[in-house]
Chains A and B, each alone.
Chain A
Amino acid sequence: DVKVTQSSRYLVKRTGEKVFLECVQDMDHENMFWYRQDPGLGLRLIYFSYDVKMKEKGDIPEGYSVSREKKERFSLILESASTNQTSMYLCASRQWGGNNEQFFGPGTRLTVL
């Protein structure tokens, strides 16, 4: 069965902290994605990765960076967390060039105080 896991369901951090959100998939998918979801704004793409060591900016990359050192793991980094980064963060993966079906993790609810 398809599985995308995220390191934390809930996370509380202080302004200015460096925050790491981890995502792992066990489907050998090449592509991985990070979204944030906010009421009234829907899902917005932050960064995505077509393969190991590759990354592409999405619609709202400012204030974030990513790391993809292994195929199964995609990390989202908040270099200096701010209160406006309080949100639900969702990770997804898909097979390269397949039917484009994306599989999502359970989400991480991040609160920055």
Chain B
Amino acid sequence: KQEVTQIPAALSVPEGENLVLNCSFTDSAIYNLQWFRQDPGKGLTSLLLIQSSQREQTSGRLNASLDKSSGRSTLYIAASQPGDSATYLCAVSNSGYSTLTFGKGTMLLVSP
């Protein structure tokens, strides 16, 4: 059974820092991996989706990488801002028809 772990569970940084959030999964035979952002009390917003054949995806200040063989993905946030404060979740899919397996998230606080 696929298991997804996110470390750290919480992270606090000063504004302007570059930071990395980690996601690891136990079964490397994934179809794709998705990173989400969740603001307190709100739903999930999709940030980036990486297909199993891809190594990375970029959107603005966000860059997500995928290393299937080691069962890891990282979300890199450049020049962090207070508006980046949120919980970030990763989720993996083992096929185009399967459900997602979620990590428990990393709660990020960026201080001015």
Contact = CB atoms under 8 A, between A and B. Distances in A.
Interface stretch (B10-18, B71-79, B102-110): B102-110
Interface residues of A, number: 25
A99 interface: yes
A48 interface: yes
Which bucket holds chain B's interface residue count?
20 to 34
A106 interface: yes
B49 A101 contact: yes
Interface stretch (B20-28, B37-45, B62-70): B37-45
Contacts of A90: 43-44
A43 B102 contact: yes
Contact of A97 (B34, B97, B102): B97
Contact of B46 (A33, A101, A109): A101
Contacts, number: 54
A105 B96 contact: no
B41 A104 contact: no
Nearest to A37: B38
A58 B105 contact: no
Contacts of B98: 100
Interface in A29-87: 33, 40-43, 45, 48, 58
A106 B42 contact: yes
B32 to A, nearest CB: 6
A43 B51 contact: no
A102 interface: yes
Interface of A: 4, 33, 40-43, 45, 48, 58, 88, 90, 92, 96-107, 109
